Structure 1
Amino acid sequence: MSLAHFGELIWESYRQDSILQPLWDYLRLHHCDTLRSPLFPVFLSVSSYFIFCLPYLLCDIMGDRWPAVYRYKIQPSKMPTHTMFLRCASITLRNHILLVFPAAVAQWAWRPPIPLPEQAPTLLELVGGVAGNLLLFDLQYFIWHLLHHKVRWLYVTFHAIHHEYSAPFALATQCLGGWELVTVGFWTTLNPVLMRCHLLTTWAFMLAHVYVSVEDHCGYDFPWSTSRLIPFGIYGGPSKHDVHHQKPNTNFAPHFSHWDKLLGTHADFSFVKSQEKIY
């Protein structure tokens, strides 16, 4: 395909309000079998998770040797150790090997690979679908998370492992009990189906969800953090979730702030700064 022809395809797609069509045509025509595999979403989420963790992992390893980065560490007196890194990575891999991959393979027995649609979603449909899925997941996990803190058996059995670290770091994002990881994966898979999203929108949501989840736990409040880019304080980000790990009965919503504010479980970000004075 020549560059001129590719440009014509993009222009034609733009005129039809489907600028994503050339990308979708390439994926559909050249990688059809891979995209239709039940293992593809698992591979996409796991690989993107470790890729998104890498920059923050490097920041933690370098620590105060990178003062320009270290200044944005929310709790600079609490740096994760190599032992913490290895433990969280091993728990994440174990949960995926023993639970997530078998569940994906089992889909072959009851759900045949679905055909890929010919038309790509419009850019507005993709962005709206990703935002809608994030908002729906935010409500689901807010309720589930709240229950795991209020019901002692749920907390001790499944969620306590995630709160072993009062200063979160990227690799702690999926350091969860197997049951909790399965429920998170269930909603992440089910919600795009309920919202009738295009497959490209579904995969974009998965990538966005993995990224913001890692960012929430990264332990750094950079100027380009999502919470700083989204106005009016409607998005929580790493500072908000860092407060949750310091003060576990607050800030239950994984991403946004509205449910905590409405139900009185919101804690202001200044709590982090006040805690730092104590150490």
Structure 2
Amino acid sequence: MSNTTTLGYHDASVLYATTDFSKLNWIELQWASWYLMIGNPVIATGLASFLLHEIVYFGRAIPWIIIDATPYFRKWKLQPNKIPTPGEQWACTKQVLFSHFTVELPVIWLFHPMAEFFGMSTWQVPFPAWSAIAPQVFFFFVFEDMFHYFAHQALHWGPLYKHIHKIHHQYPAPFGLAAEYAHPAEVFILGTGTILGPILYCMFRHDLHIFTVYIWITLRLFQAIDSHSGYDFPWSLQNWLPIWSGAEHHDFHHMAFVNNFSTSFRWCDRIFGTDTKYRAYRARLNAAKKAGLSPEEYARMEIKLNEEAGREGVEAEKVAENAGFGAGWSGKTKVA
């Protein structure tokens, strides 16, 4: 258990009584200054955690709003004929803020006392070495991806889809802000995969620092927002790292309703066969490229295939919503 209990929470200066500040780097000094300024480590950690989430989420989403409003970028839009309107962006923002303050704020605030109970450090400096941080963050990515894959499939089961997950599928062409546009229950269910990895790690290893968790949360938010952006740039990570999902992978899920249930990586969908329609769709697009079509002809072909996938998606959604364990659960559809 963390030694903050023995030192006491009411006088933060006691926490750093034996700390040699001359050996700390700039970030570590700012970290200690924050805890000294707030005075109470519980409040300092809870406030920092929530502010980090809000700043990173909206800070990463705003550039995508600007990109959506700039016609120049349409050539990289995965569904170029579906651009979110300002009204949709604002409605999405209100729902996201509602979930952030009613669901995520309490969870974020309660996470660190629980994790600290199992050995997580919060106010302590210096930070762990990068050689320790990197494998921990990788573990969290792998754990969350697997958790999300199975939880996401479950949310496509009739009753759960109809009453919970349907909200997130309101936009068949997603945009950055819509990453956390969801029913509060879904925010809690899928968010569990994000915080459960660090908690389990603390339970067994007892050597995690919340600074590492902040790195993980930042990267996870970037991943979630970027995968909902609706854009596939030549420099997008999925074009450099084949196992990465990215927007090109997840956009198909929103468009066609079926397939591609994972978040960060493609391997669960490949292993369990829930990417067959997606791979067939990509094969047709690749064949069109190799056929030597002009840019205009290829664009028309892409829109045609998107519309076809969208129509099938509407039918697949009806099947999943009304037939219980049907198309949505297996990732396949009878209307292919």
TM-score calculated relative to the size of structure 2:
0.69
In structure 2, what is the equivalent of residue 78 of structure 1?
A: 82
In structure 2, what is the equivalent of residue 210 of structure 1?
A: 221
- My pick for the range that moved more, 39-48 or 255-264, is 39-48
The C-alpha deviation readout for 1:175-207, integer Å capped at 9, x for no partner, is 101011112333322321222332111100000
The alpha-carbon deviation at position 222 of structure 1 amounts to 1.1
In structure 1, what is the equivalent of residue 141 of structure 2?
A: 134
Evaluate the alpha carbon distance shift between residue 103 and residue 115 of structure 1 in structure 2; reply closer, same or farther with a 3 A threshold: closer
The C-alpha deviation readout for 1:22-53, integer Å capped at 9, x for no partner, is 24521332112567422322221122100000
The alpha-carbon deviation at position 115 of structure 1 amounts to 5.0
The alpha-carbon deviation at position 122 of structure 1 amounts to 1.4
Evaluate the alpha carbon distance shift between residue 109 and residue 195 of structure 1 in structure 2; reply closer, same or farther with a 3 A threshold: closer
For residues 263 and 254 of structure 2, the distance between their equivalents in structure 1, rounded to whole angstroms, comes to: 12
The C-alpha deviation readout for 1:133-168, integer Å capped at 9, x for no partner, is 11110000100001111x201001110111111111
Evaluate the alpha carbon distance shift between residue 156 and residue 59 of structure 1 in structure 2; reply closer, same or farther with a 3 A threshold: same
- Structure 2's unaligned 5+ residue stretches are 1-21, 203-207, 286-300, 308-336
For residues 144 and 111 of structure 1, the distance between their equivalents in structure 2, rounded to whole angstroms, comes to: 22
For the pair 1:276 / 2:303, whether they are aligned, the reply is: yes
Letter in 1 for 2:46: P
Percent sequence identity over aligned pairs: 24
In structure 2, what is the equivalent of residue 195 of structure 1?
A: 201
In structure 1, what is the equivalent of residue 191 of structure 2?
A: 185
- Structure 1's unaligned 5+ residue stretches are 1-11, 14-20
Letter in 2 for 1:145: H
Letter in 2 for 1:175: Y
Instruction: Give the alignment partner of residue 254 of structure 2, picking from 245, 248, 255.
Output: 245
For residues 104 and 284 of structure 2, the distance between their equivalents in structure 1, rounded to whole angstroms, comes to: 35
In structure 1, what is the equivalent of residue 99 of structure 2?
A: 95
1:140-159 alignment, distance < 5 Å: 140-149=147-156, 151-159=157-165
Letter in 2 for 1:148: L
The structure having more radius of gyration, on CA atoms, is 2
1:1-279 alignment, distance < 5 Å: 22-32=25-35, 36-62=44-70, 64=71, 67=72, 69-104=73-108, 115-149=122-156, 151-196=157-202, 197-230=208-241, 233-266=242-275, 267-268=278-279, 270=282, 273=285, 276-278=303-305, 279=307
Evaluate the alpha carbon distance shift between residue 254 and residue 195 of structure 1 in structure 2; reply closer, same or farther with a 3 A threshold: same
Letter in 2 for 1:124: S
Letter in 2 for 1:270: R
For residues 49 and 214 of structure 1, the distance between their equivalents in structure 2, rounded to whole angstroms, comes to: 8
Letter in 1 for 2:231: Y
Evaluate the alpha carbon distance shift between residue 272 and residue 184 of structure 1 in structure 2; reply closer, same or farther with a 3 A threshold: farther
Letter in 1 for 2:33: H
Evaluate the alpha carbon distance shift between residue 130 and residue 241 of structure 1 in structure 2; reply closer, same or farther with a 3 A threshold: same
How many pairs were matched up?
255
TM-score calculated relative to the size of structure 1:
0.82
